[in-house]
Amino acid sequence: MKVKASSLVLGVCLAIMAVVAAPAFARSNTAFSAYHVENPLGSDPYTCVTEDNGAVFNNCTYTVSLEFDLPIDNAGEKTVTVRDFWQGTAAQNTFNCYLYAYTGTSGTSIEGTPAIAFNGISQTASTTVNVASGSNMQLICWNIPPQGGVANLSWNQ
């Protein structure tokens, strides 16, 4: 019986250590690797949105809105942390990002809170949304000015 009790205590200790050692953000990606153009669709921003050390950079002469695919493994509360571009001016890096959870049916998106409002270079901000089972998650950064951009994204699975 003594061996079983010590094995149980050892098992509990190992389980606690595994939880403590788990990273807060299980996923991270460069913004360039995860983006799609949200708008404008009438022009071709793919010819002028470029990459700079993993960041997606608006090298166009007009604002561009970008959508970022954020794969998740399970339902629950998700926190996404975003860093904007590290160069340019505050005006060039002033834009808002919104996190959404989608069920895949019309009119059923849930918007995360708070909205992220960048107003300078190399800022980091977070937003949270509750994702239902079977749903998807994405971040949209609206109207990124010329010479602005998004550097990286981190989120829990």
34-71 pLDDT, tens digit per residue, is 999 998 866 789 999 999 999 999 999 999 999 999 99
Evaluate whether residue 7 is within a structural domain: no
Which residues form the domain of 58? 25-155
Q: Distance from CA of residue 156 to its chain's centroid? A: 9
Number of domains in the chain: 1
Q: Which amino acid is at 9?
A: V
Average pLDDT of the segment spanning 76-81:
96
58 contacts 64 by C-beta, under 8 angstroms: yes
Residue 122: pLDDT over 60: yes
Evaluate whether residue 5 is within a structural domain: no
Average pLDDT of the segment spanning 95-122:
91
Q: Following DSSP, what letter does each residue of 107-127 receive, concatenated?
A: T--EE-BSPEEEESSS-EEEE
Q: What is the pairing mode between strands 27-30 and 149-155?
A: antiparallel
Evaluate whether residue 122 is within a structural domain: yes
The pTM score is 0.81
Evaluate whether residue 9 is within a structural domain: no
pLDDT, averaged across the chain: 85
CATH number at residue 92: 2.60.120.260
Q: Residue 134, CB half-sphere, CA atoms under 13 Å: how many?
A: 4
Average pLDDT of the segment spanning 118-123:
97
Backbone angles phi, psi at 89, to 5 degrees: -110, 170
142 contacts 15 by C-beta, under 8 angstroms: no
SS3 at position 35:
strand
Tokens 């949209």 locate to 140
